[in-house]
Amino acid sequence: MEVNHPYKYMASASNSRSIVEDDDEEEKFEHFDDFTLASSWERFISEIEAVCRQWLANGPKNLLRSFCIRTYYLVTVANLKDWFYKVKDAARMDPLKDLYRVKSEFKYAMKTYCMEYYFSTSNGGKVADWNQTLHDLQLSFGVKEFVVIAPQSASGVVLDAPEASKLLSAVAIAMSNCSCLWPAFVPVHDPSRKAYIGIQNMGTVFTRRFEGDRIGSQVPIKLMHLEGLYELFVSKFAYTAVDWSMHHFEVYFRMKLTYRTPVYDDEDELPEPDGGITESSENLESETRKKTQWDEECPWSKWYSAEDPVKGFELVAIWSEITAESSLDMAELENASPLEADKWLLSPSLSQNLGISNGSTIGFASQLRLLVKALEMSSKAKFIEDFVSDFSDVYYFTLSSNLAVENSASENLKSSAVIPPPTVLDRVLKDLFHEVMEAQVDLSRGEHRSSRSIKGAPLESLFAQFCLHALWFGNCSIRAIAVLWIEFVREVRWCWEESQPLPRMPANSTIDLSTCLINQKLHMLALYIDQRRQQVKGNDVGTNDSVNTHVQEDLQMPRDFSASHGVTKDFDRNGSAGVAGSMMLLKSCKIMHAPVTQDSPLMTEDMHEERLRAAEVLGDSFSFSAQLEKDILASDMSAFKAANPDAVFEDFIRWHSPKDWENNDSEEMEVSEAKWPPRGKLSERMSDSGNSWRKIWNEALPLSASDQKPLLDPNREGEKVLHYLETLKPYQLLEQMVCTAFRAAADTLNQTSFGELKQMTTKVGQLYVTMASMLKYLHSNNMLSDSDVIEDLRRLCTTFEHIEKLILLAASLHRKFLQSPYLAEAIFNDCYNYYLPNMGTGSTQGDTKKEFDKKQQVSSHDRNFIHGMFTPPTANQSWRKALSMGNLLNGHEPILREIIFSKRDRVGGSYYAASSSKLYEQDIETYRMYLCGTSNDLRVALAVTSGD
């Protein structure tokens, strides 16, 4: 029969509906009762046989194909569900990778049973003993594909022994009738025992029987050791009374031991760290801290202590198949060190909070969410003091339009707007203003290369540290932020009035206009405070500048020029900064001097923007910026006149604004060859009779920069800065706080050392790009009216949480594997690939597709390092935990021991029901026992092959 593509059968819903109707008609006419099946028992066997034949005929590939067809139709044509229900399709077992299940239901003796067929898509091959993707029955009994039949009840097991035997017999007869070689299992006893009985028809000669059970408590001491387990297995085929320790049996043995690194609790005795810790009465924190936090030296530890995402490690030691001949061999193996195992596999035990984003963890991301909430609420008042003085009335007014929500909302506001006690506030202000040890703060420390694309403040700056403190102050409520900001501004004013250096702000360099406006204002204030302090000290800067002027002019003045033109070197009387190249004055034919001008006035971004607008309308504007522009121009003209007494307006234009001098000469001639006067003229703009520049030139007096009045009054400008800080609108403050907090938190995490992990380097870079893209909308005027921006900020918090958790994971692995960085990288790659698709979905741990179980093989030269991670148990741990089993790893017994005993016999002849009559000999596994458990829990699964 030709196999067509599944989509060929999906022509239309009407065609499918006709198929359903035809099938119903056929059932009505073709249905008959087979009276040759005399009893319900025989009909029950016949139904099982029919289903098995159908599964055998379809095969794994067709069962999976029918699943694809049915899935498509259930999505597109809902009314065909009943028809496709008859086609019991295969479903993938989750979380197992290559195991599928198809099932069918039967009724017998007023009960409903469900038979499930488990199969894989791989062709042939032997089932691996310790494969992580194996089903429990595959691992217990060494089978590949199998059938399970169980009652449709709450327990899902058969509690009655005769019923279980009869049910298993029915399945065995049905499978024998259709020459099916699948093993069949029936769950029995209490569900907690996970007990099964089973049978498998292996052909015309042999039958394999299965039995498994569990001892949940009071495991006999003999069965806690390999010697006793060996004797238990031997007793299944050696029925005579023999001395197991002296008699030799050829038994094959495989073992898998799982160890877990110890987790210390508060009652455990902690080992002394290297170098010891000296106690001091002055350090109260060291007295109360019981143990060192894992992230104590990480950059985020100043703000919060993070939960270690790596709770520990599980080590699997595997012994490959060996031959044991006596119980003495088992006793010797039990005393062997796990270092002698053939293979070591290591996997991390990860925190449950790693793969979810439900706000349950505390970190920068959780506090940034609260800051975004405060931003959303900041428009409810005009002044920041309103949130402190009359907080409840402000929100009562804003919520009065919705009385149903008023009571609940006000209660939430009161509970979330708790102000920390004064001691906490004092500690924050002390950290900001009084505990800065560095004489000069390095604002670029810890910055990412993309950090400046976010209009915030540098990490080490005063405002950035304020924002980080605000994240944790009073749970980052709008009221707590208001209290902290008011006290912050008071401290800034104190520094100004007392001429004390403003901490965490540079007292030199230019104002960085790429930062937020608050940071620019604080920087300006710090520079003005420094000018005040310099004036008080009365330093001798002017004298040194005069000496340097002579040296500079000697370097710039040509020797032959002064001799030929009779120019003297007396520049300190007119504030000259040196010769202005080869330019000469138009009227006197003397060398032109470049004057020493006043430094450009300190201006923030808003002042620059106003100045640029004023420069365009210089003559008609009376604004502050226009007047400042005139003052700067007049100061430069006065200095130029002082340095060049014979200068005219055209000379100043040639020096100050060369673009406004139209030179007719093709190029500037050398001084010695210049024709005088030079051919040129003023531009049209400057030659206008009403030009404001010429008017200012005519009014300017010849005064050197040192004799001029400062362009801006530092006292007045400093008060303006404080006025800006004190009258800042709440939403203006919160906008800049959000941008700065995101940037500072990211820069803090960026200082984390996590080795050479390319994924993290890429992810951190992507985070800065995302933040810059979303935070730029905070600077627009209509931001608060756009609720989508607030929602985008919430999504940005979730993205930040993803990266933060990955950084913590990378840092934890890096610190734990300093001696094996490649192993840390391999484990992180496994975690990264597993958790990244699920992070940020808000799903709980139960919704994840499977538990993380990826293991990395440990090389032989790394075993001693991994062995050291299993620190010896403390006295409390040793007292609480009785060591009952052997194979101790640095004093720790395995948390799980899995053992497989097997016995093989050589048989001849065609013992399988095969079409070929060729005779041959082959080893078959006549006895197999799987044991799994600990000193308090033991599971035993036995498979015996015998001839019928």
- Per residue in 150-196, pLDDT (tens digit) is 999 888 899 888 999 999 999 999 999 999 999 999 999 989 899 99
pLDDT over 60 (residue 271): no
Give the strand pairing for 146-151 and 184-188: parallel
Residue 619's pLDDT band, with cuts at 50, 70 and 90, is very low
380 vs 125, more confident: 380
- Distance in angstroms (rounded) separating the CA atoms of residues 162 and 170: 12
Residue 169: closest CA among 52, 36, 44: 44
Confidence of residue 887 (pLDDT cuts 50, 70, 90): confident
343-354 residue pLDDT tens: 999 999 988 888
Q: Which amino acid is at 5?
A: H
Whole-angstrom distance, CA of residue 796 vs CA of residue 805: 14
CA distance 362 to 478: 19
**Each residue of 39-86: pLDDT tens digit?**
888 899 999 999 999 999 888 878 776 544 443 343 344 443 333 333
Whether pLDDT at 249 is above 90: no
Maximum alpha-carbon separation in the chain: 139
Give 177 or 845, the one with higher predicted confidence: 177
Q: What is the pLDDT of residues 480-521, one digit of tens each?
A: 999 999 999 999 999 999 999 999 998 887 899 999 999 999
Tokens encoding 418 = 């708790």
Residues 6+ apart with CB under 8 A from 473: 420, 424, 425, 428, 480, 481, 484
Q: Which H helix or E strand runs over 756? A: none
Of 64, 59, 72, 54, give the one whose Cα is nearest residue 16: 72
695-703, long-range: CB < 8 A, 24+ apart: 696/630, 696/633, 696/634, 696/637, 697/637, 697/649, 697/652, 699/634, 700/634, 700/637, 700/638, 700/641, 701/638, 701/641, 702/574, 702/638, 702/641, 702/642, 702/645, 703/638, 703/639, 703/641, 703/642
| Range of lowest pLDDT (524-528, 669-673, 758-762, 795-799) | 669-673
pLDDT exceeds 90 at position 883: no
**DSSP codes joined into one string, 458-478:** -TTSHHHHHHHHHHHGGGG-H
- For the residues 195-213, what does the mean pLDDT come to? 90
Peptide bond into 601 cis (omega under 30): no
SS3 at position 196 = strand
* Whole-number Å distance between alpha carbons of 327 and 228: 8
pLDDT average, residue stretch 376-399: 70
The predicted pLDDT at position 328 comes to 85
Tokens 């992810």 correspond to what residue?
A: 763
Give the rounded percent of residues in the chain with a pLDDT score beyond 90. Answer: 39
pLDDT > 70: what percent of the chain? 72
Q: Is the pLDDT confidence value at 546 over 90?
A: no
> Are the C-beta atoms of residues 106 and 44 closer than 8 Å to each other?
yes
Q: Which of the four pLDDT bands, split at 50, 70 and 90, describes residue 908?
A: low
Which pLDDT belongs to residue 799? 92
DSSP class per residue in 322-342? EEE-SHHHHHHHHTS-GGGSS
| HSE of 285, CA atoms in CB hemisphere, 13 A | 3
3-state helix vs strand vs coil in the chain, percent to 5: 45, 15, 40
Decide if pLDDT at 270 tops 60: no
Q: Indicate if the pLDDT at residue 782 is higher than 80.
A: no
- The arithmetic mean of pLDDT across residues 437-456, rounded, is 77
Asked whether residue 144 carries a pLDDT value surpassing 80, the answer given is yes
**Residue 411: is its pLDDT beyond 80?**
no
> What global pTM score does this model have?
0.76
Q: What is the pLDDT of residue 274?
A: 39
711-756 pLDDT tens trace: 878 889 999 999 999 999 999 999 999 999 999 999 999 999 988 8
* Confidence (pLDDT) at 686: 86
User: Which spans in 657-729 are helix H?
Assistant: 684-687, 692-699, 714-726
Which of 90-99, 484-493, 710-719, 860-869 shows the lowest per-residue confidence on average (mean pLDDT)?
90-99
State the pLDDT at residue 329.
86
- Measured between alpha carbons, how far is 417 from 288 in angstroms, rounded to an integer? 29
Cβ–Cβ < 8 Å for 527, 714: no
Rounded mean pLDDT of 613-633?
Answer: 64
Residue identified by tokens 């500037």 is: 668
Residue 168 structure tokens: 């298993």
For residue 171, the model assigns a pLDDT of 94
Q: Dig out the tokens for 287 from the structure.
A: 């007295």
Mean pLDDT, rounded, for 521-534: 92
Distance from C-alpha of 137 to C-alpha of 126, rounded to nearest angstrom? 15
116 φ, ψ (degrees, to nearest 5)? -120, 135
Q: Which residue has the higher pLDDT, 840 or 2?
A: 840
pLDDT at 37: 56
pLDDT of the residue at 669: 45
Across the chain, mean pLDDT equals 78
Tell me whether residue 929 is exposed, middle or buried, using C-beta atoms within 10 angstroms of its C-beta: 0 to 12, 13 to 18, 19 or more. Answer: buried
Cα end-to-end span (Å), the chain: 39
Q: How confident is the model at residue 902 (pLDDT cuts 50, 70, 90)?
A: very high
| Residues paired with 187 in a beta bridge | 196
Beta bridge partners of 211: 197, 942
Q: Are 93 and 100 in contact (CB under 8 A)?
A: yes
Query: What is the bridge-based pairing of β-strands 206-215 and 938-947?
Result: antiparallel
Helices first, then strands: H and E counts in the chain? 30, 18
* pLDDT tier at 765, thresholds 50, 70, 90: very high
- Mean pLDDT across the stretch 825-848? 70
Query: Tell me, what's the pLDDT at 737?
Result: 97
Question: Is pLDDT at 776 greater than 80 in this prediction?
Answer: yes
Beta bridge partners of residue 159, listed in sequence order: none
pLDDT at 325: 84
> What pLDDT digit, counting tens, does each position of 20-35 carry?
344 444 444 444 555 5
The predicted pLDDT at position 692 comes to: 84
Query: What per-residue confidence (pLDDT) applies to 34?
Result: 55
- Could you tell me the pLDDT band of residue 529, with boundaries at 50, 70 and 90? very high
Q: What is the pLDDT of residue 767?
A: 95
pLDDT of residue 856: 93
Q: What long-range pairs does 492-499 form, CB within 8 A, spacing at least 24?
A: 492/522, 492/525, 492/722, 492/725, 493/722, 495/433, 495/529, 496/525, 496/528, 496/529, 496/718, 496/722, 499/529, 499/532, 499/533, 499/536
Main-chain phi, psi angles of 147, to 5 degrees: -125, 140
**pLDDT at residue number 621:** 45
